[in-house]
Amino acid sequence: MVTSSSSVPRLVVAAPSSGSGKTTVATGLMAALTARGLAVSPHKVGPDYIDPGYHALATGRVGRNLDAYLCGPELIGPLFAHGARGCGIAVVEGVMGLYDGAAGEGELASTAQVAKLLRAPVVLVVDASSQSRSVAALVHGFASWDPEVRVGGVILNKVASDRHEALLREALESAGVPVLGVLRRAPQVDTPSRHLGLVPVAERRDAAVEAVAAMAAQVAAGCDLEALVALARGAGSLPGAAWDAGEALVSSPPPPLPVPSPGAAPPDPPPAPNGPRPRTPPGSSSREVPPDRPVVALAGGAAFTFSYAEHSELLAAAGAEVVTFDPLRDEELPEGTRGLVIGGGFPEVYAAELSANEPLRKAVAGLALGGAPVAAECAGLLYLCRELDGLPMCGVLDASARMSERLTLGYRDAVAVADSALAAAGTRMRGHEFHRTVVEPGAGAAPAWGMRAPERRVEGFVQRGVHASYLHTHWASEPGVARRFVERCRTS
């Protein structure tokens, strides 16, 4: 039976702290329930791009993020319902500790806040490797801290032996929270990490498949799946409609028209559907495309794995034909490309291969220097630089990038400094930075963003049609940026 998205059974997998085993349990649970024939909707609290890749592998569905800082609390329910359409159950993996949110913002963007917004019960994953009776005090504290958060059960992770399990269960009887699973130490389900966390699925496909299968087997053997499904069915109904890209665009303000320079000829109007075809921009092939549906190339592959699914959905709803390409393998941009979106990822890991693909670097440079709209975030920014760790990149920006020992991490409150193909000057958006690289200089003559919090500074580059920055944003919070970008693709 297909359940409507507003009442789909759901639960949130949380933990007292990072490193407790949330990803193992959440991914394993998703895969185990999928193996039982359920259509599982996978979600991740926060801005993380990597875990949703493992969720997608476990369920066969797109992993989606629920971030109350980037999108606002009011969009959590609608975005969840959008992703959960047609599903029989949803599993939401939390972030950090259950009550940890955006620094200095109280509960904002915490797993607890998202659980309350979704009216979903919480399963607490506890690393029990160094405790016995104390587990009861820990669980009692988390279950009673916020009466609006319903901790419906505990999964004990890294349990050493039958004796250890017996001591933990005895202690938890007094806490009043049922034990829904016990997992022993199992190194075979570990996934490798590096400077920004787990290695993405796209970089280790076969090994990732094996890891997800091992997680599923461990969860199926150690957890009471029937009890977990029953708990999920106790979630309350969500009010309101599911988010829809087309409706979001209709309700967002229209993009301002381009302002011509003094003395310059006004821009040509968009051609009529049956009128002349647009010119093919430099760097692309000669295929003609309908002028009312411009091709927007979206970077993908192992080097560019960070992208929110809603971005391509908004671009398509705005009238673009979104075509994914792999900068590691493809020597040309997709036919008829009129705009380019390069999200985040790990270009520093693949710098040599990206540099060796000179034909594509030249195609990207030709497109950008010809004035076509280009939106680049973090990894995309590095790719557009003159060089990365001494290796030639696209050379669109007169800047160099290099690896750094310092991790830059955190939410940002930003405002667009300059008019660009992505945002009108003065547009306020919230974003997230997460990188161990440095770009010098850090901003161009026309910066992309002025950071309002936690520190005041300018960052990024706006030149011709290019908007390049370290800041990751979620376009569902400001759908007009997608419409503005596609409109610029039509008229550039």
- Residues belonging to the active site: 378
Segment (H or E) for 78: helix 76-83
CA atoms of 384 and 395, how far apart (whole Å)? 6
Which residue type sits at 388?
L
Tokens 């490797």, located at residue: 129
The upper half-sphere exposure of residue 154, i.e. CA atoms within 13 Å in the direction of its Cβ, equals 28
Which residue type sits at 389?
D
Torsion over CA: 22, 28, 43, 70 (sign): positive
Whole-angstrom CA distances from 450 to 103, 110, 334, 340 are: 19, 25, 33, 23
> Beta 391-392 vs 295-299: how paired, if at all?
unpaired
Q: Is 59 exposed, middle or buried (0-12, 13-18, 19+ CB in 10 A)?
A: buried
Contacts with 63 (C-beta within 8 Å, 6 or more apart), sequence order: 42, 43, 44, 51, 52, 53, 54, 55, 56, 309
CA atoms of 214 and 209, how far apart (whole Å)? 9
CA atoms of 296 and 298, how far apart (whole Å)? 6
CA atoms of 114 and 303, how far apart (whole Å)? 30
Length of the chain as a residue count: 492
CA atoms of 137 and 154, how far apart (whole Å)? 13
Answer yes or no: are the C-beta atoms of 467 and 429 closer than 8 Å.
no
